[in-house]
Structure 1
């Protein structure tokens, strides 16, 4: 491969900001919940490079083929690999990060099967090189214009992300697009060159809190300290469902948590997750899936009497999409009051509209409560 820029290249990154910037000259675009990927193409030679410089080429043969069919003969295009689920609740297409994560598999036969059953799309949002021309030192609006021209004829499953320079449109996108599985907005200054590995863009993500029951924990791989807290919420029928984990702790905090959890470790045989209520569709921890692979999912039950306030960004169905952030214990809260009713869920939205840039994708407001 002989391009003006060749792998490995660390993609340019974004730093989190609490509110949407509105300075003149900013460009806003959806933040896709997928795998960051720079596609390098030099004729028939194609490389899919992930953040961190690792190759993903062997895992996404269908994307490699689409790159050969639709991308310019010689180019480097920054974007995101996504998987769209079309058979989920409500029947509306939306992003599914778990299905995407399952695509990283060591067995060639499995890679081939998943490429057919859960194929990935590629969403392009920046152009680093075209033919013999390096574009990384050009300002972002110029690169965007060149990207649109170079990829003007692409068709799904290859896309060019939509953008806007209007803050009000961006705010509507922030509210509405979450319902299609997106997780915020990326904001780019007008004079921005492409500087690999540097956090020169901005990202705005949803931030929420919830009170959850701590009904178990997992050990940390380093030794006899807490690895993660297992979180639960009650449904309308009084069934406690496992919704996710909180796990980002310092080594010292993991030791402290073990002491704090000790009084709740004497558990009787009536723990709500030990056997599970399958007739009611209860979600419980444990079990090995394609996503977790051989990961040790053994867990220790706790009496469901502890309540913790956690931060989360979004829900995926009836569970947290990402790991929750531990904020504080809530001894003043009754565990039975920790229900789904407190959660804010986005309105359902069609990800195909976002990808197509339909005019309808720029309007809409309101939220559904679980």
Structure 2
């Protein structure tokens, strides 16, 4: 492979801002997938990732689509996504990362991925990284004029009002927010020179357990959160865990009076991951997260008496899409009042309308 921009390349990043900025900017949807930089030199294709490690082997169908739809020699920044029905499904996309070649082949057929292009780093023998985004975008549109599904060009607008509409509407199709790019900006790997606007919401959740921190057995690593569903059962919805070191130890001491056994705990099914008296034990290999090898899924159960208000971006199914953030304690709330009904439901939006949007 001989290209003017060679792998690995760290993708250009965005810094979070509370509202859609204005000025000489280009706006586009924030896709909820795997950030990927595609390098193509004829029949040679490499798909780079956010951590600069290649993901080529996990997406053979994307490699073939790249060969059929992208220019012979190019480097293009974008996002790999999986569409289920009329929305993006990140959890299904995560399942595509599998060590077994046979499983990779099966998943490439049953849950095929797509590539959404949104920036051009190189074309033929030209390095575009020093050119302003306005030029890069125009060249990308020309380069992808003949591209067909499952290769897509992200829609863009220079109208902040339209970007605001996208921010409100596109979440219903599983998108993550809006990105704003300076029209005059060059491509700067691993630099936060773009802007991202993501959804932020709050929810009152029940604290149902904790995991200890890696720093020691007397510090809280994360708190396990639950919400009551229509059947009156406490469902697991996610965790919070970003606490200062001193606060982790304080929390550990404060929570000890709530430590209980799994006998009367709403998540009694998890009792096999702990000793009868509630102490976390060393788990078997099957009790680790399949996404984070070595991550212990056992926890210490707590009486579901404590309520915490958390910040979250959006839901994926019945759980928070990302780790929630601590907001404040809610001693005034009855834990039984912490239900799914409090959550804001985004308006459904047809993903096909976004993928086929004219530029």
Q: State whether TM-score is above 0.5.
A: yes
Cα contact 1:29–1:161 (8 A) shared by 2? yes
* Structure 1 range deviating more: 12-21 or 57-66: 57-66
Cα contact 1:78–1:126 (8 A) shared by 2? yes
Equivalent positions of 1:320-359 (< 5 A) are: 320-357=320-357
Match of 2:129 among 122, 131, 136: 136
Equivalent positions of 1:119-198 (< 5 A) are: 119-198=112-191
Matched residue, 2:55:
56
Q: Give the CA deviation at 1:294.
A: 6.0
Q: Give the CA deviation at 1:288.
A: 6.5
Q: Give the CA deviation at 1:95.
A: 0.7
Matched residue, 2:258:
264
Equivalent positions of 1:60-99 (< 5 A) are: 60-86=59-85, 93-99=86-92
Q: Give the CA deviation at 1:236.
A: 3.6
Matched residue, 1:365:
none
Give the whole-Å Cα distance in 1 for the aligned partners of 2:97 and 2:317. 23
Matched residue, 1:314:
314
Give the whole-Å Cα distance in 1 for the aligned partners of 2:329 and 2:291. 30
Equivalent positions of 1:218-367 (< 5 A) are: 218-224=211-217, 225-267=219-261, 269-275=263-269, 291=291, 295-357=295-357
Give the whole-Å Cα distance in 2 for the aligned partners of 1:156 and 1:288. 37
Cα contact 2:289–2:296 (8 A) shared by 1? no
Cα contact 1:3–1:75 (8 A) shared by 2? yes
Q: Give the CA deviation at 1:80.
A: 0.3
Q: Give the CA deviation at 1:222.
A: 4.3
Give the TM-score normalised by structure 2. Answer: 0.91
Give the whole-Å Cα distance in 2 for the aligned partners of 1:153 and 1:289. 42
Cα contact 1:75–1:130 (8 A) shared by 2? yes
Give the whole-Å Cα distance in 1 for the aligned partners of 2:190 and 2:358. 32
Gaps of 5+ in 2: 271-285
Give the whole-Å Cα distance in 1 for the aligned partners of 2:329 and 2:355. 41
**Alignment RMSD (CA, Å):** 1.9
Gaps of 5+ in 1: 87-92, 277-285, 360-370
Could you give the per-residue CA deviations for residues 307-359 of structure 1, whole angstroms, max 9, x where no partner exists? 01110000112221111001222112111121112111201122121111179
Give the whole-Å Cα distance in 1 for the aligned partners of 2:40 and 2:268. 51
Give the whole-Å Cα distance in 2 for the aligned partners of 1:58 and 1:34. 17
Give the whole-Å Cα distance in 1 for the aligned partners of 2:211 and 2:116. 36
Find the residue that maps to 2:167 and give its secondary structure: helix
Give the whole-Å Cα distance in 2 for the aligned partners of 1:336 and 1:114. 40
Cα contact 1:66–1:158 (8 A) shared by 2? yes
Number of aligned residues: 343
Cα contact 1:98–1:291 (8 A) shared by 2? no
Find the residue that maps to 1:8 and give its secondary structure: coil
